[in-house]
A and B are shown apart, each in its own frame.
Chain A
Amino acid sequence: MSETTEKTKACTVRILIGKAGLDGHDRGAKYVAHILRDAGYEVIYTGIRRSPEQIVQSAIQEDVDLIGLSFLSGAHLDLTRRVLALLREGGASDIIVFCGGVIPEQDIAALKEMGVREVFTPGTADTSILEKVDALF
Chain B
Amino acid sequence: MKSNKSIPELIEEMRSYKNTSLRAAGRLMSLSEESSEKTIELLRALSPFPEPRIILGITGAPGSGKSLLSGRLIEHFRKKYPDRRIGIIAVDPSSPFSGGAILGDRIRMMQHADDPKVFIRSIASHGQQGGVTLGTMGIISVMGAFGCDVVLVETVGVGQMEFAIKDVSDMVAIVLAPGQGDTMQFLKAGLMEIGDMFIVNKDDQAGSIQFYAQLLLSLRLLGHTAEQKELVPRVSALLNVGIKELFDSIEKRFLGNDQQRKIFRQERLELLVRRVILAELQKRMDVVLKKEELPVTEKILKGETSLSSVVSDLIKKM
Contacts and interface: CB of A to CB of B under 8 A. Distances in A.
A58 B113 contact: yes
A98 B120 CA distance: 23
23 contacts: A8-B99, A11-B94, A11-B99, A33-B102, A36-B100, A37-B98, A37-B101, A38-B97, A43-B103, A45-B106, A46-B106, A47-B106, A47-B107, A53-B113, A53-B114, A54-B110, A54-B113, A61-B25, A61-B121, A63-B26, A63-B27, A63-B29, A89-B19
Contacts of A126: none
A57 B20 contact: no
Interface string B98-140: 1111111011001001101001111010100000000000000
Contacts, number: 103
B23 A60 contact: yes
Contacts of B124: 11, 42
Interface in B62-115: 94-95, 97-104, 106-107, 110, 113-114
A47 to B, nearest CB: 4
Given A46-B106, A62-B121, A62-B122, A37 B100 contact: yes
A91 B100 contact: no
Nearest to B20: A91
Given A37-B98, A46-B107, A60-B22, 17 more contacts: A10-B99, A10-B100, A11-B99, A37-B102, A42-B94, A43-B101, A44-B104, A51-B114, A53-B113, A53-B114, A57-B22, A58-B113, A61-B120, A62-B103, A62-B120, A91-B23, A94-B2
Interface residues of B, number: 36
Contact of B22 (A7, A42, A90): A90
A69 B26 CA distance: 20
B253 to A, nearest CB: 28
A45 B107 contact: yes
A10 B99 CA distance: 8
B92 to A, nearest CB: 9
A51 B22 CA distance: 18
Interface residues of A, number: 37
A115 interface: no
A61 B119 contact: yes
Interface in B1-47: 1-3, 19-20, 22-23, 25-27, 29-30, 33-34
A92 interface: yes
A41 interface: yes
A54 B118 CA distance: 11
Contact of A50 (B2, B99, B113, B119): B113
Nearest to A59: B26
Of B1, B19, B27, B102, most buried by chain A (CB within 10 Å of CB) is: B102
B23 A38 contact: no
A40 interface: yes
Interface string A27-39: 0000001101111
Contacts of B110: 46-47, 50, 54
Contact of A45 (B23, B94, B103, B114): B103
B100 A39 contact: yes
Interface in A55-108: 55, 57-58, 60-63, 65, 89-92, 94
B28 to A, nearest CB: 9
B98 A40 contact: yes
A12 B38 CA distance: 15
Nearest to B3: A94
A33 B29 CA distance: 23
B137 to A, nearest CB: 17
A37 B103 CA distance: 10
A45 B102 contact: yes
Of B29, B97, B110, B124, most buried by chain A (CB within 10 Å of CB) is: B110
Interchain residue pairs A-B with the least CB separation, the first 10: A91-B20, A63-B26, A54-B113, A37-B100, A47-B107, A53-B114, A40-B100, A63-B30, A11-B99, A40-B98
Given A54-B113, A63-B30, A90 B98 contact: no
A37 B22 contact: no
Contacts of A60: 22-23, 26
Contacts of A94: 1-3
